[in-house]
Structure formats: C-alpha cells, structure tokens
C-alpha cells in the first residue's frame, strides 16, 4: 500500500483571508496591534501556541496561551456569524484526491487545524470520505515534530518508505524529513519553493498535474 499525507491550510484549501481576519480580531481584543500579515503567513502550519510565540517572541507564555485560545473562539464566532469567506479548494485538488484513491493510494491529513476546524472544512467540500487518517494539533505536538505523520503511517499500516507528505511550508517538509517520509512541496501556499527545496523537499509542484506526477514519483 502507498500513503499520501496532505497538509490542509495552504495545500488543500486557500484559508489565508480567514486566518488574517481572525488574527486581527484576536489581537485587537487584547489591545494589541494587528500582526504583520507577512509574519502571520510565515507561521501558518504551526500549532497556535507556537504561532503566537513566533509572532510575539517577547511576550510571556500566558499571553501566548490566551491568544491561542482566543483565536479559536474568534474563528468559531466569525464562522457562526457568516463573517468568514469560503475556504476554496485549490484548483485541481478535488480531482487529484479522487484519482489517487482510484489508483490505490491511501490518503491522510496532518494539519495545524483543530479537529473541529478540519472536520468542518473537509465536510464543506465533501472530501472527508477520501481520508483514512486525520491528525490535528489537538492531539499532537506542533509541526515539525513528526508525531502527526507517524500516526498517519500507523493508521494506514504503511511504512515510511511507501509514503509521502505534501505541504506548502518548511514545517511540513521538515516533519517529513524527521519521519523518513518523502516530502513534496507545493508553490501555492505560504512558503516559497526555494525554501521548501532547501528544507529537503524532493520537488515543488506548480499545479495539481505536476503534484500528481511528483506523488507517483
């Protein structure tokens, strides 16, 4: 069996606008200036506490934890109030998932999203049925720790040599390297292709067709 593990934000779906909006509201609620959008894009993929640490390195741990909790609450409220934009699948992703499954690949997700956020995202797009393992920041250390990826391998019953991880950040690539899994980058997310290659990606896909070729090797 072969396993392809996908990151979510910046790899499967374009969630940038919603992440930036929720960050702005969360920071404002605590009387903080809105974080720099570029800085926010750099930390997408990390778990929330680690992301807040990177955005406010001089702040105390208590503030990082509070911001992380507030971000979750804000995101849920904005979604309930219909103040978030749809998080569209990137072009060609739905077809790629179906084609890989038909070709005998097992599929999984390893993401910095919460269980709730991932479930809502996958259900919205009707793609949750494709995945045999869904691993989130709720139950694992932050990327690039390989815990999420190793659990995907365990759930699928696949050895690291028969798997790949697909992601848009150096955190995804470094997680793959740490787990001994072939890492593939995509250039439509949050970190650029040169960074992904330097971190250890075997290639960086320019579109879904290119990604398909890289996954098949």
For residue 31, what is the DSSP state? T
- CATH number for the region 16-80 comes to 1.10.150
Q: What is the pLDDT of residue 13?
A: 97
Per-residue CA distances from 58 to 47, 61, 64, 66, 67 (Å): 18, 9, 10, 15, 14
CATH 3.30.2010.10, applies to 2-14+88-216: no
Q: What is the pLDDT of residue 86?
A: 79
User: CA-CA distance, 214 to 52, in Å (whole number)?
Assistant: 33
- Same CATH topology for 2-14+88-216 and 16-80: the answer is no
Whether residue 25 has pLDDT greater than 80: yes
In the chain, what are the domain boundaries?
Answer: 2-14+88-216, 16-80
Whether residue 125 has pLDDT greater than 80: yes
Provide the phi-psi class of 126: left if phi over 0, else alpha when psi is between -120 and 50, else beta. Answer: left
For residue 155, give both structure tokens: 């759930």
Q: What percent of the chain has pLDDT over 70?
A: 100
Q: Is the pTM of this model over 0.85?
A: yes
């Amino acid at each position: 069996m072969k396993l392809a593990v996908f990151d979510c934000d910046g790899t499967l779906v374009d969630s940038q606008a919603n992440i930036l909006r929720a960050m702005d509201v969360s920071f404002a609620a605590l009387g903080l200036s809105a974080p720099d959008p570029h800085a926010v894009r750099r930390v997408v993929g990390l778990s929330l506490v680690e992301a807040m640490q990177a955005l406010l390195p001089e702040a105390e741990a208590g503030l990082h934890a509070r911001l992380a909790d507030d971000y979750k609450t804000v995101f849920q409220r904005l979604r309930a109030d219909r103040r978030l934009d749809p998080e569209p699948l990137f072009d060609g992703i739905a077809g790629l998932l179906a084609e890989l499954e038909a070709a005998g690949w097992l599929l999984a997700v390893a993401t910095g999203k919460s269980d709730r956020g991932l479930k809502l995202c996958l259900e919205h797009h009707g793609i949750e049925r494709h995945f045999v393992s869904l691993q989130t920041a709720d139950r694992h250390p932050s990327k690039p720790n390989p815990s999420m990826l190793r659990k995907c391998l365990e759930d699928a019953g696949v050895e690291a040599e028969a798997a790949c991880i697909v992601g848009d950040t150096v955190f995804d690539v470094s997680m793959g390297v740490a787990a001994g899994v072939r890492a593939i980058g995509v250039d439509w997310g949050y970190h650029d292709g040169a960074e992904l290659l330097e971190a250890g990606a075997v290639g960086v896909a320019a579109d879904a067709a290119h990604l398909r070729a890289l996954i098949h090797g």
